[in-house]
Structure 1
């Protein structure tokens, strides 16, 4: 019986391989390996972004002789851009860098925030499986390669491993809004440092990142009638 199952599996594999097209007019669409991308949901998260940007910039600035820096803020900054510029200024000053109020003779720090909108109802991929209670305070996640049991008592209660296991995932569907943040440090001749990163944005907070959705079209309340014949 086992030999029969093995032979059938091999035959199925050969059949599937034979069905694969050897030539296509365009590349076959495939998925990227699973990755994670942070979702911005609070002003505190903006500070985390600022700290990461400052660390990457400082690492590059240390490779050259020290020079003052000037943060070139946008003429009409969004709430996000204003906060990021303020927090980055604070971090650089606290780290001992000379942040000038004039661009003359300074390295210029430019910040570009590109907001992009994808289609609604994007899929959200998480761990496959559902929780089931084995006993009071003991849970099992089914349909996972190595079922994870929880029954660790913490204080007067039990630790629900299902919630712990999924706490890393942002609630709700995958946002359709993302931002790409690029910070550049340059003089009139070259780029000294550059940092680019992407983040999810809560769709309800789009206005904070400069995305203004158009007003819905109001229904027309008037109707035209064409009169024919003599009155």
Structure 2
């Protein structure tokens, strides 16, 4: 019996040596380190982006004291119409020279792309979420053990909700990529991209196609 076991072990070892270790027929899935991404869901957030871009533009060494002209996209959207005026206001407030014509001015433009994920996988909960949930369950069990009134258990949980609910938000299957660029003499001298989550119902704010899709068509006939 021992001899058979030894022969089997030797055979398995020799067989394993015929194959490479740490191999796979296809790349295995892995994850990225945890990162954060903001969610746009108010016109105020557009103003925050405009302020951020104005800060970067006015601090750029190649653009200091350079006249700027903001070029609107060929197809306008609620976002583009608002962002034009918001960016203009923020630039002027910071002392930038914003022209109303492109003559002898650096051209400021921006591109907006809506990305919709059709089959997104599981997104893990933020760190501490399970601990907070477990703590809430533990608090809810206290009245049944010690307190006379079970409803009192809701007080600390409600207090915690009031304290932290402002930082709670959810991921969505739709995102928007907003890239601001500045060109001078057919050369890109500045480019900055920002990515945000958006609510699915808000995609019409950013995409002309989505905005137009909301309009209902009506057949017109000359027959009575």
Instruction: Give the conservation status (yes or no) of the 8 Å contact 2:139–2:157.
Output: no
Q: What CA distance in whole angstroms lies between the structure 1 residues aligned with 2:80 and 2:193?
A: 15
Q: What CA distance in whole angstroms lies between the structure 2 residues aligned with 1:125 and 1:166?
A: 19
Q: What CA distance in whole angstroms lies between the structure 1 residues aligned with 2:26 and 2:169?
A: 35
Superposition map of 1:1-231 within 5 A: 22-60=22-60, 62-63=61-62, 66-119=65-118, 123-126=122-125, 127-129=129-131, 130=133, 131-132=136-137, 134=139, 160-165=159-164, 167-171=166-170, 174-210=171-207, 211-212=209-210
Q: What CA distance in whole angstroms lies between the structure 2 residues aligned with 1:66 and 1:202?
A: 38
Q: What CA distance in whole angstroms lies between the structure 2 residues aligned with 1:71 and 1:49?
A: 15
Cα shift at 1:121 = 7.0
RMSD (Å) for aligned C-alpha atoms: 3.2
Instruction: Give the conservation status (yes or no) of the 8 Å contact 1:57–1:194.
Output: no
Per-residue Cα deviation, 1:34-86 (whole angstroms, up to 9, x for no partner): 111111111111111111121122221x4555210000111221111121121
Per-residue Cα deviation, 1:135-156 (whole angstroms, up to 9, x for no partner): 8xxxxxxxxxxxxxxxxx9xxx
Does 1 or 2 have the higher relative contact order (CA < 8 Å, sep 6+)?
A: 2
Change (3 A) 1:81 1:164: same
Q: Which runs of 5+ in 1 are unaligned?
A: 1-20, 136-152, 216-231
Instruction: Give the conservation status (yes or no) of the 8 Å contact 2:58–2:96.
Output: no
TM-score for the superposition, normalised by structure 1: 0.66
Change (3 A) 1:65 1:83: closer
Per-residue Cα deviation, 1:99-149 (whole angstroms, up to 9, x for no partner): 1111111000010001110026764432223123648xxxxxxxxxxxxxx
Q: What CA distance in whole angstroms lies between the structure 1 residues aligned with 2:187 and 2:68?
A: 14
Once superposed, which parts of structure 1, at least 4 consecutive aligned residues long, lie more than 4 Å away? Answer: none
Q: Which runs of 5+ in 2 are unaligned?
A: 1-20, 141-154, 215-224
TM-score for the superposition, normalised by structure 2: 0.67
